[in-house]
Amino acid sequence: MTTYFSRLDVQLQEELKKTAEAILASGKGILAVDETNEGIGKLLKNVGLENTENNRRRYRELLFTTPDLAEHISAVILYDETVYQKTDDGTPFIELLNKLNIIPGIKVDKDVTALFLSEDEMTTQGLDDLGKRCAAYKKQGCRFAKWRCPVKIGLNTPSVRAINDTATILARYASICQSEGLVPIVEPDVLLDGDHDIERAQKVTEVVLAAVYKALNDHHVFLEGTLLKPNMVTPGQGCTKKSTPKEIAIATRTALLRGVPAAVPGIAFLSGGQTEEEATLNLNEINKVQGKKPWILTFSYGRALQASVWQTWAGKDENLVKAQKELLKRTKANGLASLGNYEAGTAISAAGDETNYSANYKY
């Protein structure tokens, strides 16, 4: 077998690398606003609003027009519809974000479907037309993409087939993104679902990461122009033995050191159903753990930045400013946590201690 292959054009490598590094700006992280129309529809229903295009737009305008949002947010992950939406005054969302020096990105997977003949495992769809879609999003102003592959822990899962499927899909996605000039955020999400302990979660995370980076290497993905969005290593939601933030931090850092190459510039954790405060505390401890840390460690949160926003806004215009202040509380807290400087309990938010967990979670 030949080991000869072509590399990305040097100019494209530099572009991807610069975008990845810009997303990793010190004290900043990513705001994930990439819920599907169905997913945000459930949230709108909870505040008494219909799932219409305008109501979805109104909520996202609330987020993007938050004063000083860019102080702790470097990038935003959008959903397809949001790429083309505008503010009330007619400003395209992407133009608004660019003016704020916030980098726009796009969720490009088409959600999960059952992995045939598996034990309730999943595979992620959307590769067929990915190249064309990436080219179109780049033309609209997006500079990075995100693709999520959820992995379930059970008695006999994840299976080798599911792990290999996840790794291959993420590698093909990353390769296609880079070919069209988008930085791929690679998201293997080992779910909270289950009653497994932290040791099992750590081992599964290590195995999944090893498979993913082997596949990325096989597909000649330029690692310096990628980011990783993994789960933190935590016990399953049903586990009776809870772990402290320090235990979670040590298990997470250990798993990352065993599976993630130093060439990857940064890791932006998903919140995975943790409460707002848990996600902040755990990120803070992960950054405080002593030892080797070859990557920047920050956040890419959706629910853990917005739970209090939804509760405060409640679908009413008169609550907009209060809701924006809730968002700023959490972005500042996580910005500090990305530097290991957050003090527990200093960010008191409306839904800070309420669980964001949802079994079999879909965006």
Residue 104 β-bridge partners: 76
Round to whole Å and give the CA distance between 321 and 119.
Answer: 46
Tokens 């899909």 sit on residue: 169
Can you tell me whether residue 296 is helix, strand or coil? strand
Give the alpha-carbon dihedral of 155, 161, 163, 169, to 10 degrees: -150
Round to whole Å and give the CA distance between 28 and 337.
Answer: 10
Phi-psi map region of 274: left, alpha, beta (phi>0 left; psi -120 to 50 alpha): beta
Both structure tokens of 244: 């402290």
Question: Pick the catalytic residue: 187, 206, 277, 278?
Answer: 187
User: Which segments of the chain does DSSP mark as H helices, in order?
Assistant: 10-23, 37-46, 53-64, 80-83, 93-99, 130-140, 160-179, 198-218, 245-259, 276-288, 303-313, 320-337
Round to whole Å and give the CA distance between 335 and 277.
Answer: 13
Distances, alpha carbon 326 to alpha carbons 91, 191, 281, in Å: 24, 27, 17
SS3 content of the chain, % helix, strand, coil (to 5): 45, 15, 40
Question: Pick the catalytic residue: 229, 277, 285, 332?
Answer: 229
Concerning whether 38 is annotated as a catalytic residue, the answer is: no
Side-chain half-sphere of 97: how many Cα atoms within 13 Å?
30
Round to whole Å and give the CA distance between 22 and 97.
Answer: 14
Q: Tell how strand 122-124 and strand 103-107 pair up.
A: unpaired
Concerning whether 229 is annotated as a catalytic residue, the answer is: yes
Distances, alpha carbon 76 to alpha carbons 28, 179, 195, 209, 243, in Å: 11, 21, 33, 24, 30
Catalytic residue numbers? 187, 229
